[in-house]
Amino acid sequence: MGRVSIFLLLVQCLGSLNAKENLHTQSQAALIYHQNCLQCHQKLSFNLKQVYFDYLLKYSSEKAVKLALIDYLKAPNKDTSVMPKEYIRRFGVKKPTSLTDQELEKAIDYYWKRYTVFGKLK
């Protein structure tokens, strides 16, 4: 084998490892999201897709939406909630998340990718 062939084989192996790591990270994020976000919201009359669009309307960018979600989920407050006031009067404000910062970021990244329209419209 020549040097170029060995180099290409090494690059292919590293790419395969990286793909497996990405898949593992995505499945961890999906699990966190499904167990801690979706499970609860499925019982409520306000779905997470609508919440996504409400956050997007208010905060505009991916970075701003994710920061607002993290802030809200760590310290829920009726003044920073995007939920309609009637909903908050009826159900109250959620309790702070018990997720670690890393778990919360993974769940929010997964949530963003699940509902984002950026790059999907033609």
pLDDT digits (tens, 9 = 90+) for 35-81: 988 888 777 767 888 899 999 999 999 999 999 999 999 999 999 99
Domain map (residue ranges) of the chain: 3-115
pLDDT digits (tens, 9 = 90+) for 18-43: 444 444 456 899 999 989 888 887 77
| Residue 10: pLDDT over 90 | no
User: In which region does residue 98 sit, left (phi positive, over 0), alpha (psi from -120 to 50) or beta (all else)?
Assistant: alpha
Q: pTM higher than 0.75 for the full model?
A: no
pLDDT at 82: 93
- CA angle at residue 25 from 21 to 72, to 5 degrees? 155
Residue with tokens 């905060």: 59
pLDDT at 17: 40
